[in-house]
Structure 1
Amino acid sequence: MNTTSCPVTAGSRPASPPAGAPSAAASRRAELGRQGEELAAAHLRAQGWRLLDRNWRPGPGHDGQPPLRGELDLVAVDPDGALVAVEVKTRRSERYGPPAAAVGHGKLRRLRLLATAWAHGHDTGSHSGLRLDVVSVLLPPDGPAVLRHHRGVGL
C-alpha cells in the first residue's frame, strides 16, 4: 500500500490533498471495498459461478432519459443458469450493523434499474431469469473474513 507523508511542525496542520484527490479515509474505504469484491468474486467462482462483468457503470441516458447513476459490483451466472447482479458490501466490524444492512430500499431500487439496464445492453438470451443478490463481507482486523451470501434480495 502506498503511503504519503507530509511534514508537520508544531501548531501546523498537514497540507490538504490536491483538489480532486481522494482523502485518506476515502482511499481506505475504496481499498476495503476492492478487497471485499475480490473475496466475493473468488467465493462465487469457487461455487461454480461464471463472472460476466465487474464494476459496470451505465452510459449516458437515452431517449431523453437522464443517465442512470451507480455501479453493479458483479454480474454473474449462477450454476443454475440464472443471471445475477451481485452487490458486495464490506465492513471491518459490525459496530454499525452487518454489511448487508447498508443495502436499503433506495439502494435496491437503484440496483434493480441498473441490473435491468445491464441485461438490456447485453446478450442474455440463454440465461434463466434475473436476480439480485448481496454478498456481505466482514473483514475484522484480527480474524478471518466472513462472507454471507443473501440470495434473491431484489427483482
Structure 2
Amino acid sequence: MAQSTYAENYLLAVAGEGFAAGFYEGLGYELIDNRVRTKCGEIDVIVRDPDGTIVFVEVKSRRGRGFGAAEAVTAKKLRTMRRCAAEWLAEKPYSAVRFDVAEVLVAGEQMQIRVFEDVDDGAC
C-alpha cells in the first residue's frame, strides 16, 4: 500500500508540475526546463518571464487543502530553492531572477492553480 501511495503522489506531482508549466506558457513565459536535479535538490519548473526574468517555480500539488499547499514552502525550502537556483545559474549569463510558488489543487480530472509571485522577497 505504501508503494502505491508513493506512486500516486509522484504522478500527482508530475501532473501538477506539467499543469503549472502550461499555465506559465499560457501567460507568455518560455519554458526553460522542469524537474531539474542539482546537487542541492530539485527545481520543479524554470521559466523565462517575457521581461527576461528567470523564474524558479516550486509547485505544490494537493488533492485538497487539508495538508496545506503553498504554506508548505518554509524558509528552509526557500533557502534550498536559492541554493539550487545559484547552482543552475552558475555557468549562465546574468539575469534577474524570481521565486514563485504554484499551488495546484486537483479534484478528479480538474486542476486549479494559484500562483504566489516573488515569495523570496524579504525572506530570511
Partner of 2:42: 71
Q: Residue 96 of structure 1: SS of its match in structure 2?
A: coil
Query: Aligned AA for 1:75?
Result: I
Deviation track 1:97-142 (CA, whole Å, cap 9, x = no partner) reads: 2x11111111111001101111113x234x4x1111111100023x
Pick one of 46, 50, 54 that aligns with 2:26: 46
Q: Residue 152 of structure 1: SS of its match in structure 2?
A: coil
Partner of 1:124: 93
Partner of 1:103: 73
Unaligned runs of 5+ residues in structure 1 are: 1-15, 17-21, 59-67
1:154 Cα deviation (Å)?
1.3
Larger RCO (CA within 8 A; separation ≥ 6): 2
Deviates more, 1:28-37 or 1:132-141: 132-141
Deviation track 1:56-96 (CA, whole Å, cap 9, x = no partner) reads: 112xxxxxxxxx33100111101111011111110000012
1:149 aligns with 2:118: no
Measure the CA separation in 2 of the matches of 1:119 and 1:28. Answer: 32
Unaligned runs of 5+ residues in structure 2 are: none
Measure the CA separation in 1 of the matches of 2:67 and 2:3. Answer: 22
Partner of 1:8: none
Q: Which has the higher helix share?
A: 2
Aligned length: 121
Q: Residue 113 of structure 1: SS of its match in structure 2?
A: helix
Q: Which has the higher strand share?
A: 2
Matches within 5 A, 1:28-43: 28-43=8-23
